[in-house]
């Protein structure tokens, strides 16, 4: 693995490990119920509303919550009133209610996690101009809203390169959740990365229409693997858990089966564990946790970036690939690193939409 690779990807995993370590290792601390220790608490509170994927989706929402917990731990805050907290949305009908609930509880900053919450954040922000809100994966043009976007296409390009270099069948799959702009960026980057390596490789693209239906992810993955696909990249939140379930089931039945999953948002290595082996090839990291921490820190320091949009790409180490733990050979990693360097240096511009 080259030095550059450590800078663009492995450093992100190490940072993630630091955040997770700050969040605690036992179940109680992971859920935000642990003690904040003896550190004196700052006079600031922050909370978030999840989309329908849930706070334990092992992906997007969970990454945001881990970032919020880390911010709380670093600043002597505890879960609950006057500290940090979250509300989970069972459906889109809960978005406005949950945002209003947290504002009424006097949290200084309230995050809406995900593109699907754009309209709700926009509406609440116009009704509550004196309150600070932030949204991930969408832009809300209100002076009291901080918007955060990611260049998912850049990290997904590297995932496509990895898949193209590692496939044996020359058949690869992409499983998306809902067909919305942010997921299209994942798809567009992935397809471009595959094409950059070998345009003859076939990519089966399927959208499940949901981020919280693991059963749809499993049946979709079953069809793909049955058709000869050997690597699937999912950008489907909790639905992607079903992709892992199918791959692990196939690996359990046949330990020699060449089936892989590329995780998303967080390092999903643990999701791919099958006895002494693992079906996680790598994961496309999207540092939602870092974004949440950064915006919270600015707000706590009276530097809240209201009315601004912050964008995290490969150059900012906002996206990248997780350590493959040896699943990807060093010579292949070196090739991936060359593509990463070209993107970070501006030599390659990855499209945001499918051409």
Indicate if the pLDDT at residue 299 is higher than 90.
yes
> Residue 316: pLDDT band by 50, 70, 90 thresholds?
confident
Given a contact cutoff of 8 angstroms between Cβ atoms, the answer to whether 54 and 88 are in contact is: yes
Same domain, 21 and 157: no
Single out the residue of 212, 194, 196, 213 nearest to residue 204, CA to CA: 194
Q: How many residues does the chain have?
A: 355
Same domain, 231 and 175: yes
Which residues are registered as beta bridge partners of 273?
278
> Residue 39: pLDDT band by 50, 70, 90 thresholds?
confident
Considering the domain boundaries, does residue 352 fall inside one? no
Q: Name, of 8-12, 18-22, 309-313, the range with top average pLDDT.
A: 309-313
With left for phi above 0 and alpha for psi between -120 and 50, is residue 212 left, alpha or beta?
A: alpha
Indicate if the pLDDT at residue 98 is higher than 70.
yes
Single out the residue of 166, 59, 171, 156 nearest to residue 114, CA to CA: 59
Same domain, 111 and 207: no
**How many structural domains is the chain composed of?**
2
The region of weakest confidence among 30-39, 83-92, 293-302, 326-335 is: 30-39
Same domain, 227 and 241: yes
> Residue 20: pLDDT band by 50, 70, 90 thresholds?
very low
DSSP code for 79: B
Considering the domain boundaries, does residue 353 fall inside one? no
Once rounded to an integer, what is the mean pLDDT over residues 341-349? Answer: 95
Same domain, 90 and 142: yes
Please state, in angstroms and rounded to a whole number, the distance separating the CA atoms of residues 228 and 168: 10
Query: At how many degrees (to 10) do helices 60-74 and 11-22 cross?
Result: 60
Considering the domain boundaries, does residue 281 fall inside one? yes
**Cα→Cα distances 173→145, 176, 231, 262, Å:** 37, 10, 6, 10
Given a contact cutoff of 8 angstroms between Cβ atoms, the answer to whether 95 and 89 are in contact is: yes
Same domain, 104 and 196: no
Cite the DSSP H helix spans in 31-79: 60-74
Same domain, 144 and 167: no
Reported in sequence order, the residue ranges of the chain that DSSP labels E, i.e. its strands, are: 46-49, 84-87, 109-113, 132-136, 145-150, 171-176, 202-207, 231-235, 260-265, 273-274, 277-278, 280-286, 309-312, 319-321
* 251 vs 34 pLDDT, higher one: 251
Which residues are registered as beta bridge partners of 262?
233, 282
Which residues neighbour 300 within 8 Å (Cβ) at sequence distance 6 or greater?
Answer: 42, 44, 46, 75, 108
pLDDT more than 90, % of the chain = 85
Same domain, 252 and 125: no
Single out the residue of 123, 110, 113 nearest to residue 54, CA to CA: 113
Same domain, 302 and 227: no
Q: Could you list the residue range(s) of the whole structural domain that residue 299 is in? A: 3-150+287-312
Same domain, 209 and 331: yes
CA dihedral 323, 344, 206, 274 (to 10 degrees): 0
> What predicted TM-score, i.e. pTM, was given to this entire model?
0.84
Instruction: Please tell me the predicted confidence (pLDDT) of residue 38.
Output: 58
CA dihedral 143, 148, 154, 159 (to 10 degrees): -160
Considering the domain boundaries, does residue 318 fall inside one? no
Please state, in angstroms and rounded to a whole number, the distance separating the CA atoms of residues 58 and 236: 11
In tens, the pLDDT along 212-268 reads 999 999 999 999 999 999 999 999 999 999 999 999 999 999 999 999 999 999 999
Same domain, 64 and 99: yes
In tens, the pLDDT along 109-158 reads 999 999 999 999 999 999 999 999 999 999 999 999 999 999 999 999 99
The region of weakest confidence among 34-48, 230-244, 245-259, 288-302 is: 34-48
Kindly report the average pLDDT of the chain as a whole number: 90
In this structure, is the dihedral angle defined by the CA atoms of residues 97, 86, 273 and 231, taken in order, positive or negative? Answer: positive
Q: Tell me the CATH number at 206.
A: 3.40.50.2300
Indicate if the pLDDT at residue 200 is higher than 50.
yes
């Amino acid at each position: 693995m080259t030095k550059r690779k450590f800078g663009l990807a492995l450093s992100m995993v190490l940072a993630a490990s630091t955040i997770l370590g700050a969040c605690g290792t036992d179940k109680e601390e992971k859920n935000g119920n642990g003690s904040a220790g003896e550190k004196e608490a700052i006079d600031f509170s922050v909370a978030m509303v999840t989309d329908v994927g849930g706070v334990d989706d092992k992906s997007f929402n969970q990454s945001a919550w881990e970032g919020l917990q880390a911010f709380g731990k670093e600043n002597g805050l505890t879960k609950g009133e006057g500290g940090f907290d979250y509300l989970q949305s069972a459906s889109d009908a809960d978005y406005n209610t949950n945002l209003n609930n947290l504002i009424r509880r006097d949290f200084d900053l309230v995050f809406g996690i995900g593109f699907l919450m754009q309209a709700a954040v926009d509406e609440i922000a116009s009704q509550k101009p004196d309150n600070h809100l932030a949204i991930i994966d969408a832009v809300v043009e209100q002076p009291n809203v901080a918007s955060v976007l990611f260049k998912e296409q850049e990290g997904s390009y590297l995932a496509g390169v990895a898949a193209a270099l590692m496939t044996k069948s020359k058949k690869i799959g992409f499983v998306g959740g809902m067909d919305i702009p942010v997921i299209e960026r994942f798809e567009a980057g992935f397809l471009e990365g595959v094409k950059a390596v070998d345009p003859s490789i076939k990519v089966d693209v399927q959208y499940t229409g949901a981020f919280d239906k693991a059963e749809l992810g499993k049946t979709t993955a079953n069809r793909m693997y049955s058709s000869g696909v050997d690597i699937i990249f999912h950008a489907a939140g909790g639905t992607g858990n079903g992709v892992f379930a199918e791959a692990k089931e196939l690996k359990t039945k046949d330990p020699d089966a060449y089936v892989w999953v590329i995780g998303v948002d967080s390092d999903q290595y643990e999701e791919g564990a099958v006895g002494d082996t693992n079906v996680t090839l790598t994961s496309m990291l999207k540092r939602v946790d870092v974004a949440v921490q950064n915006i919270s820190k600015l707000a706590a320091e009276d530097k809240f970036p209201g009315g601004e949009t912050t964008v995290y790409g490969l150059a900012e180490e906002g996206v990248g690939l997780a350590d493959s733990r040896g699943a990807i050979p060093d010579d292949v990693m070196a090739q991936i690193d060359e593509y990463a360097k070209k993107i970070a240096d501006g030599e390659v511009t990855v499209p945001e939409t499918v051409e």
